[in-house]
């Protein structure tokens, strides 16, 4: 084809192999414009974030952008080259001796390409391998100099760029997002005085009290070593064997079995620095402190049946949610709160503030809000940023210091150590996403992958040849809090650490009824998958020490008698806590209302299109994310003659990916939806998972076909099911929005479920 050859002189056969489309670059804009209703609020997956330096700055720009520009690449209108920048004539065929002959060893183009590919993977993180990240900033509410000289808190309104990575702890890099697991919440602050990493979790306590046990707990929870199963799940013998023999884990278990371990979104979970840290002001005054992140979207969770199904339906559920929210301009926000206290106060607490299996109830030390975190830009490249980011608890800055929490001290060794293997040497701080914004000056040199070209002959200190530079900062630099430490060298723990149950009970009694029921169900699910009876029995024996009702319910679920309690590890008088409302998820509903909630509007031929469009628009204007869901892609006819465009099907997006559903009704056509078993499953799962349902006119017939109960199990009206005739649709929509803002109707739950 002479014409094609003329257009593509160096690549004549490409269009023949790939068709004419291969000649037209596919742009994100074209994709977005082609989506139905062109709202683009959800369909942004193929659209790259605008590049900084390439046109109008993006809303999410922060100081980090310009510093990363030097390493950003944009291939637009560029020719293909090797890594040595040699232009490549053909990217289709290796160099052969005759068309049917062997490949020539001299084909450096092919060998370089394959060699690079062969080495694309780096070791995944040994824990927290599965994660998603975003850029943003931290803004201080006020000048905190009285408390700490840490740079981010220097004055009201001060913004510090951040990179935040959320993760699950147990699963491998490609594992499903909705596993029952603790979530990582790691924040890297690029401050004026160097990087500060607050490497937090979404649970305020930890599994163990001593770093010596970390490899054990990680081994026990990960897939069993002989057959490599199960993936991203604690529901197996080795984990519960370890847990039932380690009473210190009990408080953490209560959180892991609660809805905290299946968040609805990374945007809807808290973060906790776990350990006690120290804050130091310019005068050297020291206060103790715990760090808390609280999401403005509120704290919300999935229900287990939903989380379990989402593992298959959308393994990237949380990653997609975070990405789409940021692309749509719904920037996730979290408030940083501090619990600040003194050593003297700590001495009066009925627990040791160095014990990471204990929390400080907010009723004892209230949260003091100091600033907010805003995530406003998705990474440009998953590997370069999300994968290569290296958090280390030892990355702290002047104004903050460590406590002697043994877990924190152990972590300070583990994180830089692991990065050396994972990122291939000691220069991982030079990888752009890890590089501080503040300048680095020292005499550290060389090592694998060194980027910096240090000039001059001086690489030691003291020196006179470079005028003594770089010079020590003295008191302007990081100064450790002087701490008088006297003690015998020994292995052990303080006595208070041995109270393993009081705070587990505190958590239990602070949960609402549905939350308690979910904890019982989770223990039953996990222990049912444990094959060794003795492990199940031992675990329930531990729960007896937490609460008799809990132990009885779990034992009943497992078909065993309640065993005698495990012996206590301490003879100290144990504290009795009052319930702490702040420990319930219901305590923080957030201020976001229906924003970012995903709503399925089920349509079929004969749907009242005008109404469906009106509901769609109203939800969109309220910040929710509606989608027209049908049985097949394409158009469906509407009563008003203007066809509706189905955006996605019940097959490709089952019920679990939506927070709520609407049946807009119409003529008899929509009733036909109820003859599709997939639609019936869809409606029943929406109901079973407590989600709001709006049914207008004939839409109600579909609910009847799915045998959705008219009232709650206790006979009351279900506030999450709204039906009305088309003439009353406006008021019904209002009630539906109220239900959507409330998220779920837990009062529907029975064991087993009604539908």
Binding site for ligand HDD (CB under 6 A): 125-128, 131, 165, 167, 184, 186, 199-201, 206, 211, 214, 274, 356, 390-391, 407, 410-411, 414-415, 418-419
Q: Which of 11, 62, 65, 128 is catalytic?
A: 128
d(CA 283, CA 112): 58
The reply to whether 201 belongs to the active site is yes
Residue given tokens 């749509």 in the structure block: 328
480-490 per-residue burial string, b: 16 or more CB within 10 A, e: under 16: eeeeeeeeeee
Question: CB pairs under 8 A, 24+ apart, for 401-404?
Answer: 401/277, 401/278, 401/280, 401/286, 401/480, 401/481, 402/275, 402/277, 402/278, 403/275, 403/276, 403/277, 403/278, 403/288, 403/353, 403/354, 404/354, 404/483
Residues contacting residue 149 through CB under 8 Å, at least 6 positions apart? 280, 281, 282, 398, 399
**CB closer to ligand HDD out of 127 and 703:** 127
Whether 294 and 334 have beta carbons less than 8 Å apart is answered as: yes
* Shortest Cβ 393–ligand HDD spacing (Å): 8
**CB closer to ligand HDD out of 186 and 700:** 186
Cα–Cα nearest to 41, from 32, 30, 51 = 32
Q: Which residue in the shown chain puts its C-beta closest to ligand HDD? A: 184
* Shortest Cβ 278–ligand HDD spacing (Å): 16
Q: Which of 201, 202, 434, 545 is catalytic?
A: 201
* Shortest Cβ 399–ligand HDD spacing (Å): 21
d(CA 58, CA 41): 17
Name the phi and psi angles at 716, rounded to 5.
-75, 165
* Shortest Cβ 174–ligand HDD spacing (Å): 16
Residues contacting residue 55 through CB under 8 Å, at least 6 positions apart? none
SS3 for 280? strand
* Shortest Cβ 159–ligand HDD spacing (Å): 22
* Shortest Cβ 381–ligand HDD spacing (Å): 16
**CB closer to ligand HDD out of 428 and 687:** 428
* Shortest Cβ 405–ligand HDD spacing (Å): 8
Strand-pair partners of 295: 334
**CB closer to ligand HDD out of 183 and 372:** 183
d(CA 197, CA 19): 49
Q: Where are the alpha helices (DSSP H) in 529-565?
A: 533-544, 548-558
* Shortest Cβ 8–ligand HDD spacing (Å): 43
**CB closer to ligand HDD out of 214 and 587:** 214
d(CA 149, CA 285): 10
The tokens of 105 are what? 């060893």
Whether 34 and 28 have beta carbons less than 8 Å apart is answered as: no
Ramachandran region of residue 5, left (φ > 0), alpha (ψ -120 to 50) or beta? Answer: alpha
Strand 277-280 and strand 286-295: pairing?
antiparallel
The tokens of 72 are what? 């950003």
**CB closer to ligand HDD out of 169 and 701:** 169
d(CA 539, CA 23): 63
d(CA 128, CA 181): 10
The reply to whether 743 belongs to the active site is no
* Shortest Cβ 413–ligand HDD spacing (Å): 7
SS3 for 224? strand
Cα–Cα nearest to 650, from 669, 668, 675 = 675
**CB closer to ligand HDD out of 411 and 684:** 411
Judged on CB neighbours under 10 Å (0-12, 13-18, 19+), 537 is middle
* Shortest Cβ 322–ligand HDD spacing (Å): 13
Largest CA distance in the chain: 92
**CB closer to ligand HDD out of 155 and 413:** 413
* Shortest Cβ 410–ligand HDD spacing (Å): 4
Residues tagged active-site: 128, 201
């Amino acid at each position: 084809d002479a014409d094609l050859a003329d257009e593509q002189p160096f690549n004549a056969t490409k269009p023949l192999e790939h068709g004419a489309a291969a000649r037209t670059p596919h742009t994100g804009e074209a994709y977005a414009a082609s989506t139905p209703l062109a709202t683009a609020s959800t369909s942004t997956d193929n659209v790259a974030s605008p590049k900084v330096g390439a046109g109008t700055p993006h809303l999410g720009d922060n100081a980090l952008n310009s510093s990363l520009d030097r390493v950003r690449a944009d291939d637009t209108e560029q020719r293909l080259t090797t890594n040595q920048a040699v232009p490549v004539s053909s990217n289709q065929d290796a160099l052969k001796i005759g068309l049917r002959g062997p490949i020539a060893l001299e084909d450096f183009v092919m060998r370089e390409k394959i060699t690079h590919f062969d080495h694309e993977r780096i070791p995944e993180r040994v824990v927290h391998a599965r994660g998603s990240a975003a850029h943003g900033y931290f803004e201080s509410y006020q000048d905190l100099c009285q408390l700490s000289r840490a740079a981010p808190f220097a004055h009201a309104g001060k913004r510090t760029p951040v990179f935040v990575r959320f993760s699950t702890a147990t699963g491998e890099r490609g594992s499903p997002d909705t596993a029952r697991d603790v979530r990582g919440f790691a924040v890297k602050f690029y401050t004026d005085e160097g990087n500060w990493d607050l490497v937090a979790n979404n649970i305020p306590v930890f599994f163990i009290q001593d770093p010596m046990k970390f490899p054990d707990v990680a081994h026990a929870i990960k897939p069993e070593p002989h057959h490599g199963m199960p993936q991203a799940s604690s529901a197996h013998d080795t984990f519960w064997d370890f847990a039932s023999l380690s009473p210190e884990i009990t408080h953490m278990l209560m959180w892991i079995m609660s809805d905290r371990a299946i968040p609805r979104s990374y945007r809807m979970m808290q973060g906790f620095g776990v350990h006690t840290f120290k804050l130091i002001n310019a005068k050297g005054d020291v206060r103790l402190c715990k760090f808390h992140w609280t999401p403005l979207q509120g704290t919300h969770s999935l229900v287990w049946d939903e989380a379990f199904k989402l593992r298959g339906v959308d393994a990237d559920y949380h990653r997609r949610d975070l990405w789409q929210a940021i692309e749509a301009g719904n920037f996730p926000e979290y408030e940083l709160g501090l619990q600040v206290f003194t050593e003297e106060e700590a001495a009066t607490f009925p627990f040791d503030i160095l014990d990471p299996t204990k929390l400080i109830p907010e009723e004892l030390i209230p949260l003091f809000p100091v600033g907010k975190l805003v995530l406003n830009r998705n990474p440009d490249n998953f590997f370069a940023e999300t994968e290569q980011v290296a958090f280390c608890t030892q990355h702290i800055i002047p104004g903050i210091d460590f406590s002697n929490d043994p877990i924190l001290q152990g972590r300070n060794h583990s994180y830089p150590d692991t990065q050396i293997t994972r990122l291939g040497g000691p220069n991982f701080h030079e990888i752009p996403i890890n590089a501080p914004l503040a300048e680095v000056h020292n005499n550290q040199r060389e090592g694998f992958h060194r980027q910096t070209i240090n000039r001059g002959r001086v690489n030691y200190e003291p020196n006179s040849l470079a005028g003594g530079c770089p010079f020590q900062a003295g008191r302007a630099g990081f100064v450790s809090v002087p701490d008088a430490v006297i003690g015998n060298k020994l292995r052990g723990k303080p006595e208070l650490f041995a109270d393993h149950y009081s705070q587990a009970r505190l958590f239990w009694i602070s949960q609402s009824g549905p939350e308690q029921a979910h904890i019982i169900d989770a223990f039953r699910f996990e222990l049912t998958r444990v094959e060794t009876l003795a492990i199940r029995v031992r675990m329930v024996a531990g729960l007896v020490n937490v609460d008799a009702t809990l132990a009885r319910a779990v034992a009943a679920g497992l078909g065993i008698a309640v065993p005698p309690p495990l012996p206590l590890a301490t003879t100290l008088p144990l504290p009795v806590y009052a319930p702490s409302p702040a420990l319930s998820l219901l305590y923080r509903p957030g201020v976001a209302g229906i924003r970012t909630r995903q709503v399925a509007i089920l349509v079929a031929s004969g749907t009242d299109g005008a109404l469906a469009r009106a509901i769609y628009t109203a939800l969109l204007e309220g910040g929710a994310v509606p989608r027209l869901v049908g049985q097949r892609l394409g158009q469906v006819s509407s009563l008003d003659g203007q066809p509706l465009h189905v955006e996605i099907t019940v097959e490709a997006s089952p019920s679990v990916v939506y927070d709520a559903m609407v049946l807009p009704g119409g003529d008899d056509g929509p009733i036909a939806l109820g003859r599709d078993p997939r639609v019936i499953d869809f409606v029943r799962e929406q109901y079973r998972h407590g989600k709001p349902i709006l049914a207008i006119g004939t839409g109600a017939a579909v609910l009847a076909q799915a045998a959705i109960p008219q009232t709650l199990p206790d006979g009351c009206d279900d506030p999450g099911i709204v039906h009305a005739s088309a003439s009353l649709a406006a008021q019904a929509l209002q009630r539906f929005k109220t239900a959507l803002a409330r998220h779920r109707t837990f009062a529907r739950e029975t064991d087993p479920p009604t539908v």
